[in-house]
Structure formats: C-alpha cells, structure tokens
C-alpha cells in the first residue's frame, strides 16, 4: 500500500511538472526552464513506473535500463550536433518515434489477443486499434515530413493525380478494416490485424505526400498532436494515468497550435490538408508591372540604417540556413548605439516549424520584448524608416493582399511595403519555399542586397562601424 501511494504521488508530481513546463514553454524567455521542468517530471514518472510492482512480471530491469541509456545517448548526441536549420527535421523524427512507440505497444497487445492468451472486450479492442491508427499516421507521416524538409524527396515524385481522392478512399478502407476487426472480434485473426496496421502506416505516408511548401509548419504541428493522442490512447491500454495526462497535454497543445497557425494563414485545416499550396502558381506582377529589381550597395545600406530613427528586421528561413542570427544581433546592437530603435517582426509561419524564428533569435540572446507578432508588427511598420528582410519570402509577399490569382491570396502577411524603405537580403531572385514569385522584390521602395546572409550582415556591420 505504501509503495502504491508513493508511486501515485510521483505520477502526480510528474504530471504537475508537465503542466508547469508547458506553461513556461509559452514564452521564449522561460522556454528553456520549461523544458527542464518537463524533463524532470518525465524522469520522476519513469523511475516511478520502473519501481511499480507488477504481479507476475519478469525481472527485465536490464532491458529497461539498457533502452534508457541508448535512448539518452542518441538524444544527447542529436541535440548537440543538430544545426538550427535542421531543427524541424529533428522535431519530425521525434514526433515519428513517439508514434512508432504507440504502434509497437498496441501491436504487442494485439498478438496475445488473437493468440488466445489474453481477453479483450470491444472497448479494449477499439482502443488498441485507435493506437495503431493514430500512431501509424504519426510515424510514417512524420518520417515523410522529415524527408521533405531534408530535401530527400520531392512532392512531384510521390504525389498521385487527385491525391485527395486517393487519401479519402484509403482512409475509408482503413476505417472499414477497423470496423470489421471490431465486429468479428478474435475471429478477425492476427493477419487482418496486421493488414490494418500496414494500412494505417501507408495512409500516414499518403496523408502527408501532397502537402508541401508553406504548409509544412502546420503539418508538423498537426503530427505532433497525433503523437500526443497516440500516447494518450496507449495510456488507456495500460491504465496509466500519467501517459494519459501527458498525451492529452501534447495532443491538446498541438491541436491548439495547429488551429492558431491556420488562422494566421487565413485558411481552414481542411484546406491545408486537401488543397495545400507549394510549388503551385506564381504571381509575377511587380508594383508597376515592371520586373526590375533594384540593388543597393553595402555602404548605402549601412548609411540608410545608421541614420534612420527606427528599423524592423524580418527574419526567415534564410537566416537559419546561414546561421546568421548572432551577426544579425551585432548589427542590431551597433544601430541601437546610434539611437536607432530596432525590433523584429515575427510571422507565425516563418521558417519550417512553429516558433522557428523565436527559437533562432533566443539563441542569439535577442530580448523577447523586441519581438513583434503579426498584428503588432503591421501597426509598427507604418511608421518605420527601414525594414531589413533576412531570408524571408512568402510571409512578406504583397500578392496575398492584391492578387486574387495567387495561391496565398487572403493569407495575412507582414506589410513591409508600408514602411519608408525596404532592404531584402537574399542569395538570388529564386522564389521561396512555397514556389511563388514575390512582387515585393520589384517594389519601388525595395532594394535588393544579394549574397549569403551571414557574410552580408557581417560586412554590413563592418560598414556601420566605419561610419
């Protein structure tokens, strides 16, 4: 009785740590502390689970400890070696592995059921099948998201004609198989149960296949919620309240974030999943119908920034690729020494995952109060002397405002063209991740500064120092 009481208290402490950690994760200023708190809660729960007495269980502590050590080493090495540009890929892999765990655990419960070793009522069988379905979608969907972000596969090579219909048919077949297994009970057989698992895995791959471009942050967030739901369902299988609470927290937060990101793009989740844009149509009209991009020299850019009263920096994926966040902070500090007010405009879907730019700037110790969200930034841009866009593209595209033929028409964007002057740092004139031409580059207020973002910002800092 005493051991059970202590273990339940440990689970409660772990669950509270999860809730507290999630609360701290809501702000970049406290996100690191939130990760630590949630990690401590997980350690407490794992120790409690290992110490929980299970009647008839064999002594398998060596297997458990061995798996924990291997997992800890892999996680530690990955966290230390992964570049900021590859953070979305790592998040996708971790999401997928969470789903894979749910699939393995659910299938491990399915085998003894069909072998006659274990009995299940209808509710128990439905829970196991749900774990297989949600976990399978999360696993293969996340792995494909990783492959897309890593540039290992391209949408054109894995997308079929009318892929939305293919997905709908595949989902109906999978759900139909699940209904058959529930109706037939143990007579369904392990083979049919295995077919259901394979269908879930195939559907997860097919589900993500047609989604690309600027929709990937939404997909990553959605798959994260699936992983949480699969963990919650697995918690129901084993009667673990801690797994249930943890899974619900992850699933709920992922779902809320997905909804918020869809609102930021002014699109419904169904529209993202079925009619995602990326590599689609182009909007090629410049501000005056002329496709002439004007360049600016480093010296001129430095002078304009140095003698302005206010400046807003718009970070994008190009900043992450170049690992230029610390050099960007150096330019920020040099300008502020001369009395220039410098702030950062953060679009909710900038980068490749939710909060990508916030994490990037936090790594460079940019104070959180300097980060402006979409609405704050658009209000501030109207009275800003200089805007410096570093690697952002689709989130500053005026076609979202004035080109009904553009795939991103209606999507809220940063209205950088309302500032007095705009400088765009880019490697080339190539379109962004969504594959859409950006008329901003040809706007009368815009000047292009070509080159690697880190080198360009470093040279810009040198020019500012010389003034």
- Per the DSSP assignment, residues forming a β-bridge with 426 are 450
Q: Does residue 394 have an active-site annotation?
A: yes
Give the integer Cα–Cα distance in Å for 17 and 36: 9
Close Cβ partners of 274 (under 8 Å, ≥ 6 residues apart): 164
Residue 264 · residue 378 · CB < 8 Å: no
| DSSP letter string, 84-110 | GGGHHHHHHHHHHHHHHHHHHHHHHHH
Close Cβ partners of 465 (under 8 Å, ≥ 6 residues apart): 334
Residue 418 · residue 460 · CB < 8 Å: no
Write down the catalytic residue from 121, 394, 402, 455: 394
- Give the three-class secondary structure for 123: helix
| DSSP letter string, 21-54 | HHHHTTSTTTHHHHHHHHHHHHHHHHHHHHHS--
pLDDT of residue 282: 43
Give the integer Cα–Cα distance in Å for 343 and 239: 49
Give the integer Cα–Cα distance in Å for 372 and 349: 14
With tokens 């894979």, the residue in question is 100
Give the integer Cα–Cα distance in Å for 410 and 392: 18
Give 81: exposed, middle or buried? Use CB within 10 Å, 0-12, 13-18, 19+: exposed
Give the integer Cα–Cα distance in Å for 79 and 97: 15
Whole-angstrom Cα Rg for the chain: 25
Closest alpha carbon to 335 in 319, 311, 299, 313: 311
pLDDT of residue 31: 81
Helix extents (H) in 265-324: 269-275, 298-306, 317-321
Q: What six digits make up the tokens of 288?
A: 């005056």
pLDDT of residue 435: 66
Give the integer Cα–Cα distance in Å for 274 and 394: 20
Angle formed at CA 247 by CA 262 and CA 208, multiple of 5 degrees: 45
| DSSP letter string, 197-266 | HHHHHHHHHHHHTT--GGGHHHHHHHHHHHHHHHHHHHHHHHT-HHHHHHHHHHHHHHHHHHHHHHHHTT
Give the integer Cα–Cα distance in Å for 83 and 75: 14
- Per the DSSP assignment, residues forming a β-bridge with 449 are 425
- Give the three-class secondary structure for 49: helix
pLDDT of residue 410: 83
Q: pTM surpassing 0.75?
A: yes
pLDDT of residue 286: 41
Q: What six digits make up the tokens of 55?
A: 């009647």
Closest alpha carbon to 225 in 242, 201, 248: 248
Give me the helix-helix angle, 453-466 and 325-337, nearest 10°: 20
Give the integer Cα–Cα distance in Å for 467 and 461: 10
Residues of the chain with pLDDT under 50: 277-288
Q: What six digits make up the tokens of 147?
A: 């492959």
């Amino acid at each position: 009785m005493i051991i059970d009481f202590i273990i339940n208290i440990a689970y409660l402490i772990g669950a509270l740590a999860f809730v507290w950690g999630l609360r701290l994760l809501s702000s970049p200023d406290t996100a690191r502390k939130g990760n630590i708190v949630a990690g401590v809660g997980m350690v407490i729960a794992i120790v409690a689970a290992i110490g929980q007495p299970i009647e008839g269980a064999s002594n398998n502590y060596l297997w458990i400890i061995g798996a924990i050590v291997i997992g800890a080493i892999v996680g530690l090495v990955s966290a230390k070696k992964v570049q900021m540009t590859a953070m979305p890929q790592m998040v996708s892999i971790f999401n997928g592995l969470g789903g894979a765990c749910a699939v393995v655990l659910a299938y491990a419960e399915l085998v003894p059921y069909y072998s006659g070793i274990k009995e299940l009522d209808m509710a128990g069988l439905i829970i196991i099948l749900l774990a297989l379905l949600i976990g399978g979608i999360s696993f293969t969907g996340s792995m494909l998201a990783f492959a897309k972000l890593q540039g290992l596969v391209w949408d054109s090579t894995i997308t079929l004609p009318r892929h939305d219909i293919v997905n709908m048919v595949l989902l109906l077949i999978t759900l139909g198989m699940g209904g058959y297994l529930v109706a037939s009970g143990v007579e369904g057989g392990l083979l049919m149960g295995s077919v259901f698992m394979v269908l879930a895995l195939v559907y997860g791959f097919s589900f993500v296949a047609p989604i690309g471009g600027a929709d990937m942050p939404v997909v990553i967030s959605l798959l994260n919620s699936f992983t949480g739901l699969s963990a919650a369902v697995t918690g129901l299988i084993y009667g673990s309240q801690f797994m249930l609470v943890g899974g619900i927290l992850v699933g709920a937060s992922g779902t809320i974030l997905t909804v918020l990101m869809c609102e930021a793009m002014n699109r419904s989740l169904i529209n993202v999943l079925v009619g995602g844009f990326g590599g689609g149509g182009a909007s090629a009209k410049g501000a005056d119908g002329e496709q002439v991009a004007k360049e600016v020299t480093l010296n001129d850019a430095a002078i304009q920034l140095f003698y302005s009263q206010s400046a807003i920096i718009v970070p994008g994926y190009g900043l992450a690729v170049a690992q230029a966040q610390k050099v960007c902070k150096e330019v920020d500090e040099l300008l502020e020494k001369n009395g220039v007010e410098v702030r950062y405009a953060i679009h909710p879907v900038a980068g490749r995952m939710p909060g990508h730019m916030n994490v990037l700037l936090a790594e460079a110790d940019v104070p959180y109060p300097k980060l402006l969200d979409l609405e704050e930034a658009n209000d501030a841009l109207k009275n800003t002397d200089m805007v410096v866009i570093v690697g952002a593209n689709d989130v500053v595209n005026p076609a979202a405002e004035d080109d009904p033929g553009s795939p991103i028409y209606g999507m809220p964007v940063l209205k950088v063209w309302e500032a007095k002057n705009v400088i765009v740092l880019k490697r080339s004139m190539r379109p962004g991740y969504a594959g859409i031409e950006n008329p901003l580059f040809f706007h009368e207020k815009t000047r292009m500064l070509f080159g690697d973002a880190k080198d360009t910002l470093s040279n810009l800092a040198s020019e500012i120092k010389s003034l």
